[in-house]
Amino acid sequence: MTYKAKFKVWRGDDKDGGLHDFTVEVNDGEVVLDVVHRLQATQAPDLAVRWNCKAGKCGSCSAEINGMPRLMCMTRMSVFTEDETVTITPLRTFPVIRDLVTDVSFNYEKARQVPVFEPPADLKPGDYRMSQVDVERSQEFRKCIECYLCQNVCHVVRDHEENKKSFSGPRFLMRIAELSMHPLDTRDRRKEAQEEHGLGFCNITKCCTEVCPEHIKITDNALIPMKERVADRKYDPLVWLGSKIARRK
């Protein structure tokens, strides 16, 4: 089954650009990325797009399709009607380089600001013992393919460029939660989560969870539990008192 589909693809660079109309063939079982590749091969050989695995595992082909942040390789054409115009734009939270490719270095800078795993100093490789139930929470977060759709959709930085300084975004707040729940991590990450990575900016409106192609429950399982952990440390006088007394014993 083949039909001609109407597409609008944003083309341009960091100075100017706009939506361009294309009519392109679509076959049964194809995804949006297939169509973009066909555009490249037949009509626009220099159409810039990132992609790698084409199986939803690498998180490279992030874009906005009909306004929603999605992976192009995981958006099947069958979700659109044949007469529907499909609009593809680059991610709108990061500076554009060209066409559908954006500069995502914001994310790599934030990644570098999260202190890495700190195991107990005396634990030797091969001697690590952890229970499956203890690693499962962090394992969920390690499914992350770093497509940055959550970073892109989060209104804290999407709608407020100035917050990029003080807010690390769902991906890296989740990374902090991952380490905080790692059974062998020795660092107290609660204060820095709030003060350096801007967990307080999150108003748990859950768009990160809505767009996550890995279906990670970012808000419920990472951000909210992390907010609760921060509350233990910073905003709960009773827990604070309890921990002081416990330590004295």
What count of residues does the chain have?
Answer: 249
Residue 6 engages another protein in binding (rule: CB under 8 A): no
Find the shortest distance in angstroms from Cβ 248 to another protein: 20
Instruction: Pick out residues in 96-125 that bind another protein (CB under 8 A).
Output: 96-99, 101-104, 108, 111-112, 114-117, 119, 125
Residue 14 engages another protein in binding (rule: CB under 8 A): yes
Find the shortest distance in angstroms from Cβ 244 to another protein: 16
Cβ 12 vs Cβ 58: under 8 Å: no
Cβ 218 vs Cβ 246: under 8 Å: no
Q: Residue 246 — φ and ψ, nearest 5°?
A: -60, -40
In degrees, rounded to 5, the angle at the alpha carbon of residue 87 between the alpha carbons of residues 82 and 89 is: 155
**Which one of 179, 193, 212, 216 is in contact with another protein (CB under 8 A)?**
179
Question: In the complex with another protein, which residue's Cβ is closer, 89 or 249?
Answer: 89
Question: In the complex with another protein, which residue's Cβ is closer, 22 or 60?
Answer: 60
Instruction: Pick out residues in 158-177 that bind another protein (CB under 8 A).
Output: 158-163
Count residues near another protein (CB under 8 A).
124
C-alpha Rg value of the chain to the nearest Å: 21
Find the shortest distance in angstroms from Cβ 128 to another protein: 4
Question: In the complex with another protein, which residue's Cβ is closer, 192 or 232?
Answer: 232
**Which one of 83, 132, 245, 249 is in contact with another protein (CB under 8 A)?**
132
Q: Report how far residue 83's alpha carbon sits from residue 164's, in angstroms, rounded to the nearest whole number.
A: 39
Find the shortest distance in angstroms from Cβ 107 to another protein: 9
Find the shortest distance in angstroms from Cβ 81 to another protein: 11
- Taking alpha carbons only, the member of 155, 149, 153, 208 closest to residue 177 is 208
Q: Is 223 helix (H, G, I), strand (E, B) or coil?
A: helix
Cβ 100 vs Cβ 91: under 8 Å: no
Instruction: Pick out residues in 21-80 that bind another protein (CB under 8 A).
Output: 27-31, 33-34, 40-42, 45-60, 64, 66-69, 74, 76, 78
Residue 247 engages another protein in binding (rule: CB under 8 A): no
| Residues near 33 by beta carbon (within 8 Å), at least 6 away in sequence | 49, 51, 54, 61, 72, 73, 75
Residue 197 engages another protein in binding (rule: CB under 8 A): no
Amino acid at 78: S
Among all chains, which residue has been given the structure tokens 């490279």?
60
Residue 182 engages another protein in binding (rule: CB under 8 A): yes
Find the shortest distance in angstroms from Cβ 26 to another protein: 10
- Residue 164: HSE in the Cβ half-sphere, 13 Å Cα cutoff: 16
Residue 135 engages another protein in binding (rule: CB under 8 A): yes
Residue 94 engages another protein in binding (rule: CB under 8 A): yes
